[in-house]
Chain A
Amino acid sequence: MTHLSYETLNEYLDHRLTADVYNQARSHLEACPNCAASLNELCAILADLDSLPEVTMDVDFSLAIVARLEQTPYLPRPIQWLTVAQAVAASLAIILASQQGLGMIWPLVEKWIQPLNLPSLSENITSLTTFMFKVTADLRLSTSNFELPTSGINLTFTTLTIVIISASLLWLTANILLLNPHSRRTL
């Protein structure tokens, strides 16, 4: 007589056997005292586990947890992704703003857009504004060619770069502090 394996006995108790195999195992157990004894031993282990009482708690955690949660506002997944996207955008801004970054990227961009023969941005603005003046001519507004306005502030390219990099770094640092759970926990 082939005895039931320990695996089969486990699956028998866990109701994992197919109906046919289960019935065969049950018939075998009725006829085989060795396997029946093994099954009883296994049942005793499960009964021991079932008999383990629940331990009582001395404290109520709910107030402490609520207090901690109020310092760690719930951020749904889309907002978490948005903050990650913003961080990536800020990092890209730093790269793009740096002269070295521009020096690396601009030749590639120029190579891509050159075949399109696109007019420059200032040409676009000038022609669009001239068109707007022509459209509004019947309102007796004087027409004139548009000239790009000047800001009055003489910002050099280097100054502008430093401002953009500083703002991006400040933004990134602030968001890292805000999103880092350790920096918000007080308990």
Chain B
Amino acid sequence: MIDLPDRDLILRARRGETEAFGELVRQTQAAVFNVCYRMLGERREAEDLTQETYLRAYQRLYTFDLERPFLPWVRRVAANLCLNHISASARDIPVLDDELDETDSTSYPPQIVEQRQQSENIRFAMQGLPIRYRIIIELRHFQDLSYEEIAQTINRPLSDVKSDLFRARKLLGEMLKNSRQ
């Protein structure tokens, strides 16, 4: 159930109070940034797309159902925007910030380093997926949408969503297995 403050903020934003929308951004920007980062794999690009997501969301506030929570809606906007961005730039090649290189791994306990390496492997494997698989993994696993909701969000038949999801999981499993060897 939606929090009343969210509803109030959205109504105020619809009346043109940009500060109210700014508060919604503050509350949800980390989650939206993570959607973009998982989809794009590059921090700077993810930051740009996060901002674009909110500008797009603001222009489409009239379509938002006040009876539903704001965060899932704006995360879906972000996923779609990233999908369009990758398709438009014709980039389907993995691009990933090598965050482990930016830090001195010797200063962390081995367990932490191992965990971070594991996370990077998963991110790298996700970036290696074709874009149509990546969006489905994002919507199903990270945004917890049903098959029907995914089909509606990306405007594709349910049968395609199911087959792509199953193939994406299979491919991801193989890539993760290879990265561990």
A interface with B by C-beta (< 8 Å): 6-7, 10, 14, 16, 41-42, 44-46, 48-57, 59-66, 68-70, 72-77
Residues of A within 8 A of B50 (CB): 61
Tell me the bound Cα distance from A149 to B117 in angstroms.
88
| Chain B residue with Cβ nearest A11 | B162
Give A57 to B119 CA distance when docked, in angstroms: 17
Complex contact A49–B55 (CB within 8 A): no
B21 touches which of A14, A45, A66, A77 (Cβ 8 Å): A66
Q: Looking at chain A's contact residues, is the secondary structure mostly helix, strand, loop, or mixed?
A: helix
Q: Is the CB of B25 within 8 A of A65?
A: yes
How far, in Å, is B172 (CB) from chain A's closest CB? 6
Report the interface size class on chain B: 35 or more
Q: Lowest 3 A-B CB distances belong to which pairs?
A: A66-B22, A62-B25, A69-B18
Q: Mark B140-157, 1 if CB is under 8 A from A, else 0.
A: 011000010000000000
Task: Please pick, from B30, B47, B59, B118, the residue contacting A74 in the complex, using a CB distance under 8 A.
Answer: B59
What is the interface of chain B, defined by CB distance below 8 A to chain A?
A: 13-14, 16, 18-19, 21-23, 25-26, 29-31, 33-34, 37-38, 43, 47, 50-51, 54-55, 58-59, 61-62, 118-119, 122-123, 137, 141-142, 147, 162, 165-166, 169-170, 172-173, 176
